[in-house]
Structure 1
Amino acid sequence: MDNKKAIIDIGSNTIRLIIYLIREEKMIKEIENIKISARLQNYINPKQELNHEGMNVLLEALMVFKEIISQHKVSSSITVATAAIRQAKNHDEIKKRIYDEIGFSIKILSGEEEAFYGFLGVIRATDINDGITIDLGGGSIEITQFLNRKMVRFHSFPIGVLTLNQHFVKNKIPTSDEISNIANYLESKFQELEWLNNCRLPIIGIGGSARNVGEIDQAIKNYPLPSIHRYELNLRDILMVKATLQSLSFQELQKVEGLSKERADIIFPAIEVFQSIYKIVNAPFFQLSEKGIRDGILFDAIKEHNLSEKDFHQNLEKNLQEIALEFDIDLEKRVQQFNTVRKLFNSLMQTGIVDVDDMDLNELRLASCLYNLGEFFEKDSVGPHTFYLISNQSLDGFSHKNKIKIALLASYQSKDSFKNFVRPFKDWFTKKERQKLRLLGSLLKLAFALNRTKRDIIQDAKFHEDEDFLHLELYCNKSWKVEQQEADKQIRHLEKSLGKTILLHFKKLQTIWDEKS
């Protein structure tokens, strides 16, 4: 039975509400994501207490969230607080007032819990086995090391972008000396963790500051995808973002594409954090994650602790099932259609005229699940709709390149449409890769034509070549008139991809046994 669960995260910089729809088999869809920039860290007074004004900001935000939760008829909710409330000496008073006035029970997370939930959110959305996570918030930095997809070390620093800004920066934009002071301070802190030093593991960044650095880099490069999840930067990219921003006034900074206006005054400390940890770790790359602490809290609440690589791939399948459910795709029929794709693929591979492998077959399987997804909106423009929907979907398990591969295959209509779709991403693929994708797309298109009536009549497929033609024998257990008409229309796409004329031969299934005897 479907139910809705709300997670409220009271952070040092923002307060965020996310509402999830949890369907059968624990398929999860995010249906609401609202944040309020509260900057509670700035309301911590010299006595290390959240002051009266900060308390009112917090209560007002939670009252709004309570009304939204009520509108959605949420079955249960979890409210957590991190660094600002954790470090406030009057946190017991804060919890009591929130419970008395709003009705929410608040769990104040320890540094270890915050680090673990961030790791749990990340690991279920990446196929990286060994790495470092860094969750940069307003009042704390949580760092974990994971090996073989298990968290083995963690540390929570009681410093964040807001506290760095408060301690080191006098005006809205830091001076060169202030940036140097921040960098030296961070280097000394990170060096306290011996397990970080030159461990050469990939870094995964969590949180709004990390996403903003990635989004600015994407804007600088005119990156063709809007997705930030699993986007990768190297040290040179981070330094380029820093150099670009340093040349701007604060007014110009607030208009930078990819930079949230409310983060304009804290982006420089954030960049120093990422630059410092990148150098200490000597990382191969810095990857961004849209999944983090709130997702980890949800997974923990619904007892989803499976972290192995096998579990990751199962979650990937679940992700595809969620999309299929949302767009009314019959996955049982898609399995049927993929069986036809596989027969065509295996026979074509056996001829030796194409260079394909099991990874290509798996990509065809995934694309089969989403083939012509755009029919949900409009059949006349199914290709563009399909490509747009898949390339803009949040597919947790896919790299950006792999997501575009699936989008190109699932939306394949013709050579010309393929060229239009691949054009912004042309540099991502070699000429050979593009040719292979065209071949696989045309094979997928033919397979779906052969399943036009959804009766699963193609029981076997055999390619063989003579001096003049490539022959395709299709063995059927039922009448094939409709399938033959459809295949005759679509075979030209495969012919163009292979550069060969293909002759289709439809035969009764019994014929294959007669030929063997």
Structure 2
Amino acid sequence: MTGQRIGIIDIGSNSVRLVVYEKTANGAHRVADSSKRPARLSERIDENGCLPGAAIDDLIDTLNHFTMICTHNHTSHIRAVATAAIRNANNRSEILARIHSATGLSIELLTGEDEASYGFLGMINSLHIRDGLLIDIGGGSTELSLFRNRVLVHSVSFPFGCVSFNKRFGTKGTLQDEDLKALEAIVAEAARNETWIGETAGLPLVGVGGTVRALGKMHQAAYKYPFPQTHNYPITSEHVDELFHQMRKLPLDKRRKLPGLSKDRADVVVPGVAILRVLFRATKATYYRICGAGLRDGLFHATRFPNRPKLDDVLKYSLTNLSALHPEAPKQHVLQVNRISLEIYDVLNYVQPLTPQSRVLLDTASQLFRIGASIDYYEYARHSFYLIVNSQLNGLTHREMIMTAAIASYKSKGRARQHISEYKELLNESDLEVIYKLGSLLQLSTALDRGETQAIAQLNVQLSGYQLLLRPVQPRGTLAVERREVEELASEFKKLWGFTPSLDFSSTHVPSKTL
């Protein structure tokens, strides 16, 4: 797929959405524009199973609006897909013909299996997870899948969703006890007909789509969760049940005021979560995990990278992408600091082992520590912290993202505590110790290329008594600036690691063995 901007239009049963993805000059991908309009197509299907003319007119109006946005964005390719509402409509051929005639768009009618497959691709490319179940509760269908070792094993598309069930069982936005029982019986029966459901107890249930995202936002608001993302957010089944009963008891006007819940989803969220809870029990899942990516992201990857849409390493791709979005960071200096920091870490970790994930955090932080320079060089550490915390850094948990940001922006223990103050409930004392140690190590590695000339092509690192000997092999230049910087950091580094770093020239001509 060539071209710099791709528009993905998703005609869902509850809403119609547009996302415009851009490829920047540096090869990074990002969302350049997006739009959403409520449609409630499942609700508007008449007694003959057809979508009436007025609903088709409204849909055409939305699609014309979206194609104009794509034109403004100089989009080279638009891929438009439709899901359950149009797939199940008896007049689907007429709908697609009218849309094509009025907008010029050729709509792909996705099967339930297609939906599950693209939803899985969007999820697996944005979460570091090997095994689990995936659920996408749409307006008119619900897709449930099992994946093992990052490969889709089973999937099914059920012919019900939050909008169609709200139309069938909801009364003025509420779900009475008898209606809830009837709804749950239908979902449970559908699950029983799929023999693989329930055979893999103990896996997480990963949710994509509007229903679970709304659930995540409400949960974060209720518990005053400090991190501003629902992507990669875990919730226990007890908390979901609690929120469900609380929502169901509220009349619609009061439910609309629930923090975190958008007004246009206030009525359909209850039947949506009702479906979610039944399938959670049927699959014998352990907990819920919310994923911010889904169908549209899967469609983007399949369109942009048709030969290899599935990523091998989610964090690596995300990290490369984030670095490319901030090209002001001096690339060779960052590569040098990254290499040196990991070399020093491996020697220190031999005698003072940290958790294996600590190396991943240092590797990530040492590639991102200068991205804040794209905002302001003098305050780049503070801006790097903000950008890391507020970026799509997939493959890390919220806690790990905060730790990475704190390591990347580390200047002192006091400054680090200041940066993480609003997130401190997500961290414990041992996390702070890791931040201080890795932050000071990154500072030391940065000092070893203070001139940003990459004068140290090879560095031998040794521990001798309480000394951390840093021996450059045939360095280019005197390294006077680097030596001074290392000396200034030495005492603070010793407090944290127990070793005094020393830039040692005594044997630079003879390569010595690295520990």
Fold match, TM over 0.5? yes
Asked if the contact 2:493/2:501 (under 8 Å) is kept, the reply is no
Residue 148 of structure 1, CA deviation: 2.4
Distance, in Å, in 2 between the alignment partners of 1:167 and 1:407 is 48
Q: Which letter maps to 1:339? A: R
Residue 305 of structure 1, CA deviation: 5.9
1:436-475 equivalent positions in 2, closer than 5 A? 436-458=434-456, 459-466=458-465, 469-475=466-472
Q: Which letter maps to 1:241? A: L
Asked if the contact 2:333/2:453 (under 8 Å) is kept, the reply is no
One of 367, 370, 373 as aligned partner of 1:369: 367
Unaligned segments of structure 1, at least 5 residues: none
Distance, in Å, in 1 between the alignment partners of 2:446 and 2:225 is 33
Residue 52 of structure 1, CA deviation: 1.8
Distance, in Å, in 1 between the alignment partners of 2:383 and 2:199 is 46
SS in 1 for 2:122: helix
Q: Which letter maps to 2:412? A: S
State the Cα deviation string for residues 379-414 of structure 1 (Å, max 9, x = none): 343333222211111122222222222112111111
Asked if the contact 1:59/1:102 (under 8 Å) is kept, the reply is yes
Tell me the C-alpha RMSD between the 2 structures.
2.4
Residue 345 of structure 1, CA deviation: 1.8
Match of 1:324 in 2: 323
Distance, in Å, in 1 between the alignment partners of 2:150 and 2:348 is 38
Q: Which letter maps to 1:260? A: S
Asked if the contact 1:203/1:287 (under 8 Å) is kept, the reply is yes
Distance, in Å, in 1 between the alignment partners of 2:87 and 2:511 is 74
Higher mean alpha-carbon deviation, 81-90 vs 142-151, is at 142-151
Distance, in Å, in 1 between the alignment partners of 2:387 and 2:483 is 30
Match of 2:14 in 1: 13
Residue 25 of structure 1, CA deviation: 9.7
Higher mean alpha-carbon deviation, 205-214 vs 107-116, is at 107-116
One of 498, 501, 504 as aligned partner of 2:502: 504
Asked if the contact 1:164/1:182 (under 8 Å) is kept, the reply is yes
With over 3 angstroms needed to count, the CA separation of the structure-2 counterparts of 1:70 and 1:148, relative to structure 1, is same
Match of 2:196 in 1: 195
Distance, in Å, in 2 between the alignment partners of 1:257 and 1:515 is 60
Residue 122 of structure 1, CA deviation: 1.4
Residue 293 of structure 1, CA deviation: 1.2
State the Cα deviation string for residues 106-158 of structure 1 (Å, max 9, x = none): 11111111111111211222232222211111111111222222222221111
Q: Which letter maps to 2:9? A: I
SS in 2 for 1:312: coil
With over 3 angstroms needed to count, the CA separation of the structure-2 counterparts of 1:333 and 1:383, relative to structure 1, is closer
2:288 equivalent to 1:286: yes
Match of 1:273 in 2: 275
2:262 equivalent to 1:264: no
1:124-135 equivalent positions in 2, closer than 5 A? 124-135=125-136
Asked if the contact 1:415/1:493 (under 8 Å) is kept, the reply is no
Q: Which letter maps to 1:488? A: E
Higher mean alpha-carbon deviation, 260-269 vs 27-36, is at 27-36
Distance, in Å, in 1 between the alignment partners of 2:75 and 2:390 is 28
Residue 452 of structure 1, CA deviation: 1.2
Residue 189 of structure 1, CA deviation: 2.0
Residue 489 of structure 1, CA deviation: 2.9
State the Cα deviation string for residues 365-390 of structure 1 (Å, max 9, x = none): 11111013222212343333222211
Match of 1:335 in 2: 335
Match of 1:253 in 2: 255
Distance, in Å, in 2 between the alignment partners of 1:204 and 1:43 is 30
SS in 1 for 2:9: strand
Count matched residues: 508
State the Cα deviation string for residues 48-94 of structure 1 (Å, max 9, x = none): 11112201110110110011111111111111111111111111111
Q: Which letter maps to 2:366? A: S
Distance, in Å, in 1 between the alignment partners of 2:366 and 2:306 is 27
With normalisation by structure 1, the TM-score equals 0.92
Distance, in Å, in 2 between the alignment partners of 1:287 and 1:330 is 37
With over 3 angstroms needed to count, the CA separation of the structure-2 counterparts of 1:406 and 1:2, relative to structure 1, is farther
With over 3 angstroms needed to count, the CA separation of the structure-2 counterparts of 1:515 and 1:319, relative to structure 1, is closer
Distance, in Å, in 1 between the alignment partners of 2:295 and 2:513 is 62
Distance, in Å, in 2 between the alignment partners of 1:115 and 1:334 is 40
Distance, in Å, in 1 between the alignment partners of 2:470 and 2:68 is 63
Match of 1:86 in 2: 87
Match of 1:434 in 2: 432
With over 3 angstroms needed to count, the CA separation of the structure-2 counterparts of 1:436 and 1:46, relative to structure 1, is same
Q: Which letter maps to 1:449? A: A
Asked if the contact 1:117/1:296 (under 8 Å) is kept, the reply is yes
Distance, in Å, in 1 between the alignment partners of 2:512 and 2:450 is 27
Asked if the contact 1:475/1:508 (under 8 Å) is kept, the reply is no
Distance, in Å, in 2 between the alignment partners of 1:446 and 1:513 is 21
Match of 1:489 in 2: 488
Distance, in Å, in 1 between the alignment partners of 2:109 and 2:318 is 31
Q: Which letter maps to 1:287? A: R
Residue 167 of structure 1, CA deviation: 0.9
Distance, in Å, in 2 between the alignment partners of 1:326 and 1:25 is 7
Match of 2:226 in 1: 224
Match of 1:295 in 2: 297
Distance, in Å, in 1 between the alignment partners of 2:27 and 2:374 is 24
Residue 16 of structure 1, CA deviation: 0.5
Residue 26 of structure 1, CA deviation: 7.1
Q: Which letter maps to 1:251? A: D
With over 3 angstroms needed to count, the CA separation of the structure-2 counterparts of 1:236 and 1:304, relative to structure 1, is farther
With over 3 angstroms needed to count, the CA separation of the structure-2 counterparts of 1:147 and 1:471, relative to structure 1, is closer
Residue 511 of structure 1, CA deviation: 4.7
Residue 349 of structure 1, CA deviation: 3.1
With over 3 angstroms needed to count, the CA separation of the structure-2 counterparts of 1:424 and 1:191, relative to structure 1, is farther
Distance, in Å, in 1 between the alignment partners of 2:433 and 2:252 is 48
With over 3 angstroms needed to count, the CA separation of the structure-2 counterparts of 1:131 and 1:347, relative to structure 1, is closer
SS in 1 for 2:508: helix
Q: Which letter maps to 2:339? A: N
2:385 equivalent to 1:384: no
Distance, in Å, in 2 between the alignment partners of 1:505 and 1:3 is 47
Distance, in Å, in 2 between the alignment partners of 1:401 and 1:48 is 48
Asked if the contact 1:86/1:108 (under 8 Å) is kept, the reply is yes
Asked if the contact 2:119/2:136 (under 8 Å) is kept, the reply is yes
1:210-221 equivalent positions in 2, closer than 5 A? 210-221=212-223
Residue 334 of structure 1, CA deviation: 1.7
2:46 equivalent to 1:42: no
Asked if the contact 1:125/1:312 (under 8 Å) is kept, the reply is no
Distance, in Å, in 2 between the alignment partners of 1:277 and 1:296 is 23
SS in 2 for 1:416: helix
Asked if the contact 2:175/2:248 (under 8 Å) is kept, the reply is no
Asked if the contact 1:6/1:78 (under 8 Å) is kept, the reply is yes
Distance, in Å, in 1 between the alignment partners of 2:29 and 2:54 is 37
Match of 1:360 in 2: 358
Asked if the contact 2:144/2:156 (under 8 Å) is kept, the reply is yes
Match of 2:97 in 1: 96
Distance, in Å, in 1 between the alignment partners of 2:483 and 2:37 is 59
Distance, in Å, in 2 between the alignment partners of 1:473 and 1:91 is 71
